[in-house]
Amino acid sequence: MSTVLVTGGTGFIGSHTCVALIESGYDVIVVDNLYNSKKEACNRIFKITGKEVKFYEIDCCDKKALRKVFEENKIDSVIHFAGLKAVGESVQMPAEYYRNNIDSILTVVELMKEFGVKNIVFSSSATVYGSTGKVPLSEDSPLGECTNPYGWTKWMIERILSDIAYSDPTLNVVLLRYFNPVGAHESGLLGEDPQGIPNNLFPNVARAAAGVIECLNVFGNDYDTPDGTCIRDYIHVCDLAEGHVKALDYVATKNGGRYVFNLGTGNGYSVSQVITAYEKACGKKINYKFAPRREGDLPVSYADPTKANRELGFKTKYDMDKMCEDSWRWQTMNPNGLE
């Protein structure tokens, strides 16, 4: 049985990935400092899979504490989700973002080396691509000027892991560049549970549909797109989770190397189209108004997903309607998130 250490495993993408890993026969160990998630996620993982995950409440920057996890378990691979991830917050507190996100990855890779762990999958983001606007984005698209410290930490961690892969050819490094993860597990037991005011579109649409917020702000309707609102590549979080399983299965056949894959659907949806799809899913009109553009937003971003399809055999299964249905079920079953 292959054992995977999932850092940030009680978070939105981490918890869904734990479910997919368990259902694919992996043993899972979760490390999380619960800064932006709740331990209840472990109970939900158990309810869905019938299997306990071994949980450690540890900050990945705490090398002494994290070493204990490597001492107590035979870890074959690491999937590294742990990190601060709010775009807006990163602009307000850049030093904390650089300290936390860079310190944690360095701690993890140092312990991997100490304990001879040879596989790491990193939760990267399409935000590392520059803002050339050329779409679809392939893995060969130029990396460039990130628009916020959060994005720069993803870019820097890709650089760190690439250099480490170069220095140790026996290491398998997989960089997964997510587009826009949305939706929830179809059981309604796991979903996006942002602490504080969410930045992202889907949780805000869900809250507008539920009446938690009075009116959804649509940031800009004067972009050079068919309906004037921004276009993104929304990917169901369960598809994304499956992409991580495919990545681990892939490196199990490799003896070292650096591998980069986009995880997206290849389809772009505008904000207005998301609202229309969500209204269909929830059966209500969503109250929204057009507001000024949000700084740093790209007009259009969506993936060329062919490399992950070709090399990993990864293909997204879920469409926009399913993303909205599952998001709405999560919202109605968990109006206060994971309590």
Interface residues toward ligand WQD, by CB under 6 A = 85, 87, 125, 127, 178, 180, 199-201, 204, 216-219, 230, 232, 271, 294, 297
Token output for 159? 């650089």
Q: How far is the CB of 46 from ligand WQD (least distance, A)?
A: 26
Indicate which residue of 129, 150, 250, 259 is catalytic.
Answer: 150
DSSP character for 192? Answer: -
CB-wise, 29 or 146, nearer to ligand WQD?
146
Q: How far is the CB of 308 from ligand WQD (least distance, A)?
A: 17
Q: How far is the CB of 321 from ligand WQD (least distance, A)?
A: 18
- Quickly count: other Cβ atoms within 10 Å of residue 36's Cβ: 20
CB-wise, 20 or 216, nearer to ligand WQD?
216
Active site residue 234: no
Work out whether strand 234-236 and strand 27-32 pair parallel, antiparallel, or are unpaired.
Answer: unpaired
CB-wise, 154 or 246, nearer to ligand WQD?
154
Query: DSSP letter string over 20-70?
Result: HHHHTT-EEEEEE--SSS-THHHHHHHHHHS-PPEEEE--TT-HHHHHHHH
User: Which residue is associated with the tokens 């472990």?
Assistant: 42
How many alpha carbons fall within 13 Å on the CB side of residue 39? 7
Start-to-end Cα distance in the chain: 32
CB-wise, 132 or 170, nearer to ligand WQD?
132
CB-wise, 56 or 272, nearer to ligand WQD?
272
Interatomic CA distance for residues 22 and 295, integer angstroms:
40
- The CA–CA distances, whole Å, from 162 to 55, 80, 155 equal 29, 15, 11
* CB contact at 8 A, 220 and 229: yes
Q: What is the CA radius of gyration of the chain?
A: 19
Q: How far is the CB of 159 from ligand WQD (least distance, A)?
A: 17
User: Which residue is associated with the tokens 């949305």?
Assistant: 182
Work out whether strand 269-270 and strand 231-232 pair parallel, antiparallel, or are unpaired.
Answer: antiparallel
Q: How far is the CB of 64 from ligand WQD (least distance, A)?
A: 29
Which residues pair with residue 178 across a beta bridge? Answer: 125, 263
Interatomic CA distance for residues 62 and 236, integer angstroms:
32
Report the residue number whose CB is nearest to ligand WQD.
230
CB-wise, 180 or 265, nearer to ligand WQD?
180
DSSP, collapsed to helix, strand or coil, labels residue 291 as strand
Kindly list the catalytic residues. Answer: 150
